[in-house]
Chain A
């Protein structure tokens, strides 16, 4: 069955550096992948969506890539700040209109 995995449970990075988070999927390429941010005790907040035919998408300090050969999406935060500390979730469409499946998330800690 199709799976989506975020291999790093946690990532610590120094302020100002670029944080890179990884999302891998198995089997078939999803039509799109999404990245969300979740703070403790809060619902996820949508950040970026990248479609299968797009290699890269940017939004301010965020960048997402989609590599169908490696079956992987990378999420980058440049010039990271302590306020970027949160759990980041990737998600793929999983059949059915608007239905998505989430990865387990990577908890990012940006150290001042």
Chain B
């Protein structure tokens, strides 16, 4: 069974940093591209970052230069390093599988940016 489990969310002050993780299981992680998608409270879905199986990355303009996506294929793990956090980064962050598939989603981890 495919599972994606996010962790690392929490309360952080504006300007602070946080690192999210996504533990993958039930499939050959290295064979799949992965994404991070976020959802602000009461709002819609926003794609923010992609990484290919070999490490090619793409970012939304809203996070470019502040967030870094990475993966450890040996540990079946996806990460999102978030720096210079802003109020508007407050959201539930989901990891999801595939370049265009988005066929499996984690339950999400809540990041709250507030002073």
A binds B: no
Interface residues of A (CB under 8 A from B): none
